[in-house]
Amino acid sequence: MILNLDSVPHYYKGYVKLIEETDPIQALRISGNRAQELVHTIPADKQDFKYAADKWTIRELLCHMVDTERVFVYRALRFARNDKTPLSGFDEKWYTPESNAHGRELKSIIAEMAHLRTSTIDLFASFTTEMLSRKGVANGNEFSVASQGFIIAGHETHHLKILKERYFSAWD
């Protein structure tokens, strides 16, 4: 399913542009595999590293990625089930401090990322072509179910790039 970028709300286009795959399930698989490969290279003594004082730690960043995937998957589920109730947005600036990232082991967060992605892929695999094309409104924007899969993969890809370019390069 090729996603028409014109149908993606402006804020999310940057994420979707990072994805080369034309199938949301394949995009989720590939980005999930890349994420697992990368996060397994994070040394345990760097889990609380920040590349700047006002930025998240690595554990906070990973928990943000988990929270965001859950929110977007929930949206996809609601839209796929033809729920027309407009959904509110969420503010990661409120979620991240409440994620208990500092109270968790890095290995636990990484395992949760893998389990969540498997569940996300299973859900998207259960959607028919008709369900993938269904739309709903979240945070005042219209999204298709398929776009949520591409956005999840793109959001993850975006943060993997930040991990490499800003976190990893700062400790090299």
From 64, 69, 75, select the one nearest 138 (Cα to Cα).
Answer: 75
Tell me the C-alpha to C-alpha distance, in Å, between residue 67 and each of 1, 12, 20, 35, 156: 26, 16, 24, 15, 11
Residue with tokens 């028919």: 128
**Residue 13: inside a domain:** no
CB-based contacts of 146: which residues, under 8 Å, 6+ apart?
1, 3, 24, 132, 133
pLDDT at residue number 13:
94
| pTM, entire model | 0.95
Residue 172 has pLDDT above 90, yes or no: no
Q: What is the CATH number for 155? A: 1.20.120.450
- For 46-98, write each residue's pLDDT tens digit: 999 999 999 999 999 999 999 999 999 999 999 999 999 999 999 988 999 99
Number of domains in the chain: 1
| CA-CA-CA-CA dihedral for 46, 90, 17, 134, to nearest 10 | 140
**Residue 15: inside a domain:** no
**Residue 12: inside a domain:** no
Residue 94 structural domain: 24-48+55-171
- For 9-23, write each residue's pLDDT tens digit: 999 999 999 999 999
**Residue 14: inside a domain:** no
- For 100-156, write each residue's pLDDT tens digit: 999 999 999 999 999 999 999 999 999 999 999 999 999 999 999 999 999 999 999
